[in-house]
Amino acid sequence: MITEQKPAPATTPVGESFIEIRDLHHEYAGITALDSVSLDVRAGEFVTLLGPSGSGKSSLLHILAGLVSATSGTISIAGRDITRVPPQKREIGLVFQNYALFPHLTAAENIRFPHNVRKTPERDASARVAEVLELVELTALADRRPDQLSGGQQQRVAVGRAISAVPKVLLLDEPLGALDRRLRQQLGHEIRRVQRETGITTLYVTHDQEEAFTMSDRVVVMNHGEIRQVGTPEEVYARPSDSFVANFVGEVNLWPVTVDNRESGTTIATIAETARFSARCGDDARRSAGALVVAVRPERVWVWRPDGPPPRPEIQLVDSGVIVESTFLGNSRSVVVESGRLGRTTALLYDGEEPRDRGENVSFGWEARHALVIPQ
Ligand SMILES: Nc1ncnc2c1ncn2[C@@H]1O[C@H](COP(=O)(O)OP(=O)(O)O)[C@@H](O)[C@H]1O
Ligand SMILES: [Mg+2]
């Protein structure tokens, strides 16, 4: 056993950040890939960079790995500035989609590879390879070459190889991108289990919101080379900082809105100068001087018969209209209501909620606490 190589996290004081990224800028021949990126990751944390294609996620990971050097800014890991440290001395494990396994080596040999490079004593290396094979559940397939393994098994070898030499930090760039949905979910859970068991501080990249939410302690939402929001999946979903984040982390209804004031927690919001209701003003709206929108998640929209009262007293009548689309989704039904003031509103209905069919007239609305006013 090579216990002295266990990752550093436990020795880092609680609350201190293990990875410190300060004001990173990066340009590729005039294209800005990263703009003032600062981020703190705590020891043992699993943090996911989530954003659309081209938002700078891979650039940030490549800079952390030392494969690309940033135009400006600094990075430190475990209190040590590594901005100018070469990649092989950073003690970082990598799993990239295009960072292939060695095709002529078996699973065990691939996992052993980092120890050959480091000249780990034979006995220690063998013990560690056995331990890692066990951890990624490949003991029975140890002697197979990559072409004798499925895509999912190959990525487990890649994860095994990345953690084999007990890196300080593990970086994964869309490692499940090439796999089908079920396998992605299953392997995602396995990666998280391995991460928990090893305690290795991990930065994970994906453009898939569901993957980010199910795996991460915290999510970093990126767009155009900038960090737009950092928070737990719950925070980012329920209190998105702007309309980009609201849209990117799930379905949402968004309307341009005016408010009576940006100060208090609850405000009167008006859509299209006529639809008035109580809404919640977030901190981001308070700080912003620009245009505002109101965001309401479809599962927070209620519909009812136009001649009746709302299903619960807290629910405000916002408008009435007609159902123009009704789509069965399995565990719910997505309904689009067309109305004079709001245009199209999407509602998610559960368990026989009615009205729900195309052509039916409905009133609809929501609770004040589920209508969030945010910068556009
Ligand atoms: N090697 C490169 N040369 C030039 N431009 C690049 C290079 N790599 C990335 N870019 C550009 O930098 C921006 C961010 O890219 P990237 O970090 O790959 O984003 P993501 O991983 O989120 O898709 C994009 O505009 C992309 O076109
Ligand atoms: Mg990328």
pLDDT the model gives residue 319: 97
Atom 25 of ligand 1: nearest residue by CA position: 54
Chain position carrying tokens 């620009």 = 290
What percent helix, strand, coil does the chain show, rounded to 5?
Answer: 30, 35, 35
pLDDT means per 10 residues in the chain (376 residues)? 42 71 96 97 98 98 96 97 95 86 97 93 96 96 96 94 96 92 92 96 97 97 98 97 96 96 89 96 91 98 96 97 97 97 97 94 98 96
pLDDT the model gives residue 98: 65
Burial class of 72 by CB neighbour count within 10 A (0 to 12, 13 to 18, 19+) = middle
Distance from residue 188's CA to the centre of ligand 1 (Å): 25
In angstroms, the Cα distances linking 226 to 49, 59, 180, 278, 284 are 11, 12, 30, 32, 16
Smallest-distance ligand from the CA of 50: 1
Residue 52 Cβ contacting ligand 1 at under 6 Å: no
Task: For residue 84, give the amino acid letter.
Answer: R
Whether 253 contacts 337, CB under 8 Å: no
Domain range list for the chain: 3-237, 251-376
Distance from residue 226's CA to the centre of ligand 1 (Å): 13
Pocket test for ligand 1, best of 26, 27, 31, 204 (most atoms within 8 A of CB): 31
Distance from residue 19's CA to the centre of ligand 2 (Å): 20
CATH fold group of domain 251-376: OB fold (Dihydrolipoamide Acetyltransferase, E2P) (2.40.50)
Q: What is the dihedral of CA 65, 68, 72, 74, to 10 degrees?
A: 10
pLDDT the model gives residue 100: 85
Q: Which residues surround ligand 2, an ion (CB under 5 A)?
A: 58
Whether 21 contacts 75, CB under 8 Å: yes
Give the span between the Cα atoms of 334 and 349, in whole angstroms: 6
CATH for 3-237?
3.40.50.300
Residue 206 Cβ contacting ligand 1 at under 6 Å: no
DSSP symbols for 277-300: EEEEEPHHHHH--S-EEEEE-GGG
Give the span between the Cα atoms of 310 and 300, in whole angstroms: 13
Residue 177 Cβ contacting ligand 1 at under 6 Å: no
